[in-house]
Amino acid sequence: MRPTSANDQSGAEMRDRNLAKVAAVVGVGHTDWTADHGRVRAGEKPHDSYGYAAIAFTRALEDAGLHRDQVDGLIVGPTTAYERVGELLGIDARWGGQADAMLAVIQACMAIKAGLAEVVALVYGNDQRSASARYGGADPVGGGAFLSYVYHAPWGFTSQGALYAMMFRRYMAVTGITEADLGQVAVAQRLAASRNPNAIMQKRITLDEYLSSAYVCEPLHLFDYCLINDGGVALIIAESSRARRIRLDPVYIHGVGRSDLNHGATSLEPRLFDFYRPAQAQSAEQVFNMAGVGPADMDVLQVYDSFSCHIPLALEGYGYCKIGDAGRFMREDGISLDKGLPINTSGGHLSESYMQGWNHQIESVRQLRRECGERQVANCRYVHYSSDVAGKAVSIIYGR
């Protein structure tokens, strides 16, 4: 993944490294996922999306030791309106926008690199559980952005889990990976969640419990699906020299990568023919080149896990194992806090909470700040975050 020739240092490599260590995370915050989960289950509505976003923002600001007036950039998550969040938080930004978690981080780096902002707040709130958001059926969340989520509804094909079930069934046939191999993901992430007081599901599960759990869309089981919950997350990202003045232990963004598969997306071609691999390979090349490190240097891997099968796909696509070897890798090498490469050390979307990739960002930062208590990965220097939602492969490397 590194540059092949020492003589070819000027053009391509300089461009490749344009966003390396331009910015750093100086503050993180989140709402009380477990407490709010209990209240929502009891029929209460603790906050709406804006309320969750606001709470997370004040906590991130406090974590950074900054005053609101020092924030000059604002990026809000996909479920809240940019202007209203800025109005609520009293921020007249000189640069702003709306993005998902991974693109918000990249856009903050781009704005800082371009001199359009120096301290950018990234703010996300979502009341998806208390608001009864539906990810399948008539008018599902995301249906306006992805035609594949709604196009096959006449044949009963709905919910993002079904798209991954269809993909994983073929992936099983092509690679030989089994349901028991996939079960390693849910078991390992629940182990991590059992050491995370913020996780909603902290009770450990066994592989037998996984295999005997109900199917939702076969071959995927209940434990392969993320936890839909209310909550908020915020990050404060600052230009690197400014970040060093803000705090002693800023967490740098060492690299970013992106590659999208759109061709044939509605009829599932990138899923059924490619398993997202071309996008992941390009995203990996870009992110590792920019950071000047490779998969072997990563201490933790965070993967956007709306469904467990993202993990084997990422392991192969980003070069952590050979193509077709993810089942053996998960089973024998291990992907847990106790064995092998730790993946989704907070429990991820499956066991901590489905915060649409935002919780992975703050977990990456906290692992690098060595704040994770029982679930802390020793000597954590680099964390790789990846997402490949609908074949859009985005990658970020965080480091000290």
Partner 1 sequence: MANSKPVMSMYDAPMWESIGRHRLELQTCSRCARFRYPPAPICANCLSLDYRWHPIAGRGTILSWVIFHRQYFDDHVPPYNVVAVQIEEGPIILSNLVGPVPEGSWIGAEVEFCYGEHAGRMQHQVRLREHSSIAAESA
Which residues in this chain contact partner 1 in the complex, by CB under 8 A? 136-138, 147, 150-159, 162, 165-167, 169-170, 173, 214-219, 263-264, 266-269, 272
Q: How far is the CB of 171 from partner 1 (least distance, A)?
A: 9
Give CA–CA dist 228/259, Å, rounded.
27
Structure tokens, 129? 């559980």
> Do 361 and 372 contact (CB within 8 A), yes or no?
no
Strands 73-76 and 392-399: unpaired
Q: Which is nearer to partner 1, 139 or 338 (CB)?
A: 139
| Residues ≥6 apart with Cβ < 8 Å to 330 | 181, 182, 184, 185, 188, 311, 312, 315
Q: How far is the CB of 147 from partner 1 (least distance, A)?
A: 7
- Packed helices 310-317 and 277-291: angle between N→C axes, nearest 10 degrees: 60
Respond yes or no on whether the N-terminal peptide bond of residue 295 is cis (omega within 30° of 0). no
Give CA–CA dist 327/315, Å, rounded.
10
| Residues ≥6 apart with Cβ < 8 Å to 9 | 3
Q: How far is the CB of 64 from partner 1 (least distance, A)?
A: 43
Determine the 3-state secondary structure of 69 from DSSP. Answer: helix
Q: Which is nearer to partner 1, 116 or 131 (CB)?
A: 131
> Do 243 and 253 contact (CB within 8 A), yes or no?
no
Give CA–CA dist 126/194, Å, rounded.
24
CA 62 to chain centre: 23
Q: How far is the CB of 163 from partner 1 (least distance, A)?
A: 9
Q: How far is the CB of 176 from partner 1 (least distance, A)?
A: 12
Q: Which is nearer to partner 1, 1 or 272 (CB)?
A: 272
Structure tokens, 30? 């989140």
Q: Which is nearer to partner 1, 102 or 165 (CB)?
A: 165
Q: Which is nearer to partner 1, 90 or 154 (CB)?
A: 154
Amino acid at 34: T
> Do 119 and 72 contact (CB within 8 A), yes or no?
yes
Give CA–CA dist 39/32, Å, rounded.
11
Q: Which is nearer to partner 1, 1 or 265 (CB)?
A: 265
**What does the DSSP 8-state code read for residue 78?**
T
Q: How far is the CB of 264 from partner 1 (least distance, A)?
A: 7
CA distances for 131 relative to 28, 125, 328, angstroms = 25, 12, 40
Q: How far is the CB of 136 from partner 1 (least distance, A)?
A: 4
Q: Which is nearer to partner 1, 42 or 214 (CB)?
A: 214
Q: Which is nearer to partner 1, 158 or 286 (CB)?
A: 158
Cross-strand bridge partners of residue 356: none
Q: How far is the CB of 296 from partner 1 (least distance, A)?
A: 33
Q: How far is the CB of 298 from partner 1 (least distance, A)?
A: 31
Q: Which is nearer to partner 1, 170 or 242 (CB)?
A: 170
Q: How far is the CB of 326 from partner 1 (least distance, A)?
A: 18
| Residues ≥6 apart with Cβ < 8 Å to 344 | 188, 189, 192, 301, 302, 303, 305, 311, 350, 360, 363
Give CA–CA dist 399/290, Å, rounded.
13
Q: Which is nearer to partner 1, 252 or 307 (CB)?
A: 307
